[in-house]
Structure 1
Amino acid sequence: MQIKDFMIDRNLKELTEHRTVVLPIACYETTISQNINGYIPLHWHDEFQFVLILKGQAIFQIREEKITIHEGEGLFINSGCLHMATDKNDSGCIYICLNVSPSFVLSQELYTAYVYPYIQATNLPYVHLNTKELWAKNILGAILKINQLIQQNPPYYEMDITVQLTLIWRNLIVNGFQLEYEQTEMLKNLRMKEMLNWIHLHYAEKILLDDIARAGQLSRSECCRYFKRILKKTPLHYVLDYRIQKSLILLQQPECNVTDVAYQVGFNSTSYFIHHFRKSMNMTPLAYKKYKNNGFNE
């Protein structure tokens, strides 16, 4: 089952509980265009994420890097890393998304030596799983196998899943990554999350650049550099985009008109809201509301 509108908290942390029966994992097929935003918005979670593209191609952004993943390829996204995804060239991208609690990948006795150092490494936000590499092909095959096991529920499938997870992790770490731990990089990630946290708490209020910079304990210019480097947009542009994102759910509520929604998400002018909504969604808020309320929201 695809999660079309997953909830995130004020820190952008995804609130979905990634569990399958008794196992701390979740595995489902995702069609990017079916998300309420038309893309997978920026978020993070404690779980490792493994991706296998079944159809089309997607552009993933992990922290400040962007990478295109083609059909048949995959991706490992490390715990705690900000990431988002868009469908490249309207390809109808569908991918298997496997989220796994780090503590479940290996036994408790092996976790400290073989899992925890990879979570803490600052030079390993993601790994491209390219089919040209045997170790990567092994991981992609195991993702597919886990997806099949969950769908088919054969006897003892939970144990079969743990076998596949061990296979995945072994193939990942035998690749010989030289792990690095840079305190400055960890601080940058923390400050970025703190600024995003502040925006998500106060988006409905009047927001100034000084407010955002103060939340990250940065100067105005340094704050702008953070956003430009990681999100490829200015802080205030991000605020506008986030307000539009928050308006999508409100517009689907029959009792909310466009003016109500505009003020609820922080715009002080309905016309200004309509202008930015059209720029972002290629339609007016009213057209979007009618589209969704006429039964096209599946």
Structure 2
Amino acid sequence: MRSKEMVLNDNLEDISIEKMYSFPFEVSFSEIRKLSKGYVKLHWHDELQISIVTKGSVEFIVGEKSYILKNGQAIFINTQRIHMAKSVGDEDCIYHSINFDAKLLKMFPGSIIEQKYIEPVLTAENLNSIEFYGNSQWEKDILGHIGDIINADVIKQKGYELKIYISLLNFWLLLVENENDIFSKKTEPKPINEQRVKDVLSFIHRNYGQKITLQDIADSVFVSKGECCRFFKKSVKMSPYDYLINYRINESMKLLKGSNSSILDIAERVGFNNVSHYIQIFRKKTGLTPHEYRNSKQE
């Protein structure tokens, strides 16, 4: 098991997940309060994801929906769905994530298992996520299987891959057996703006060091400024400008920790033309000046 240190490409795909052909599966954990600004940034990946909160409370945002999960509660996130996580409150927040390729459960291409029980989930445009609060017996059972998967990965006793595989199958069987109860609640369509959100984020990540305006961001997805703010804020829960500022601050924090560049140079590299404005915003976001933050990390 590894601590989650996400690496994204320009399309916001998480490329830090290890791609293993022989057993396409991994478990990671995120100590979310230790991440910059207390959130895991928006991303997506081909792998299916099961996340369970193991300490505190975490807000998961999937598409345009938001869910607050407490210790012991979990969420299943479908393939290629854009999502993020944020800490809730001031207490420490930790969640464990199980990421696996659907082919692990398919047996072989074209199998009846793939056709009847896997593909209908993967291709369901109205199924972004499923939450497990433990309010029913089948949800308690499914949370137990999630715990079994994580424990097997941690202990790694002889045959642990088989234990993981069997628990994943039992997890999926419960989804199939309760699909009417689950999927009937998933009436929301796959967000039509999901690709536009990805495109806006990609534009910001590529150009944050330059002078960019809201008009530039809106032009990148061929919409008006008002429409850009509307769909972006609905999905990301903040305006494009606020996201740009937060991203610039986060990138500057990396430079403060990992380089000896001057505060002025760092401010300019992340897109702030005025160093005083950068220091003011940095203090507002972190409670420290850039100099104080750098010193605290060195200590």
Q: TM-score, normalised by structure 1?
A: 0.90
Alignment of 1:33-48 (within 5 A): 33-48=33-48
The answer to whether residue 279 in structure 2 is matched with residue 271 in structure 1 is no
* Partner of residue 208, structure 1: 213
* Partner of residue 95, structure 1: 95
Three-state SS of the structure 2 residue aligned to 1:276 is helix
Contact 1:59 1:66 in 2 (8 A): yes
What is the distance in 1 between the residues matched to 2:167 and 2:93?
25
Contact 2:2 2:27 in 1 (8 A): no
* Partner of residue 154, structure 1: 157
The answer to whether residue 291 in structure 2 is matched with residue 286 in structure 1 is yes
Quote the offset at 1:270 in angstroms.
0.9
Unaligned runs of 5+ in 1: none
Tell me the amino acid that sits aligned with residue 51 of structure 2: V
* Partner of residue 221, structure 1: 226
What is the distance in 2 between the residues matched to 1:120 and 1:216?
25
* Partner of residue 258, structure 1: 263
Q: TM-score, normalised by structure 2?
A: 0.90
Quote the offset at 1:86 in angstroms.
2.0
Report which stretch shifted further, 173-182 or 94-103: 173-182
Tell me the amino acid that sits aligned with residue 122 of structure 2: I
After superposition, the CA RMSD in angstroms is: 2.1
Tell me the amino acid that sits aligned with residue 128 of structure 1: E
CA spacing shift, 1:187–1:53, aligned 2, 3 Å: closer
Contact 1:121 1:180 in 2 (8 A): no
Contact 2:58 2:68 in 1 (8 A): yes
CA spacing shift, 1:36–1:210, aligned 2, 3 Å: closer
Contact 1:56 1:71 in 2 (8 A): yes
Which of 126, 129, 138 aligns to 1:126? It is 129
* Partner of residue 31, structure 1: 31
Tell me the amino acid that sits aligned with residue 274 of structure 2: S
What is the distance in 1 between the residues matched to 2:212 and 2:223?
16
Quote the offset at 1:186 in angstroms.
5.3
Contact 1:18 1:99 in 2 (8 A): no
Percentage of pairs with the same residue: 32
Deviation per CA, 1:236-290: give whole Å up to 9, x if none: 2211111112112111124222111111111111111112212221211111111
Alignment of 1:1-12 (within 5 A): 1-12=1-12
CA spacing shift, 1:204–1:14, aligned 2, 3 Å: same
Three-state SS of the structure 1 residue aligned to 2:97 is strand
Tell me the amino acid that sits aligned with residue 55 of structure 1: K
Tell me the amino acid that sits aligned with residue 75 of structure 1: I
Contact 1:191 1:217 in 2 (8 A): no
Contact 1:13 1:44 in 2 (8 A): yes
Tell me the amino acid that sits aligned with residue 165 of structure 1: L
- State how many pairs are aligned: 292
What is the distance in 1 between the residues matched to 2:54 and 2:17?
24
Three-state SS of the structure 2 residue aligned to 1:53 is strand
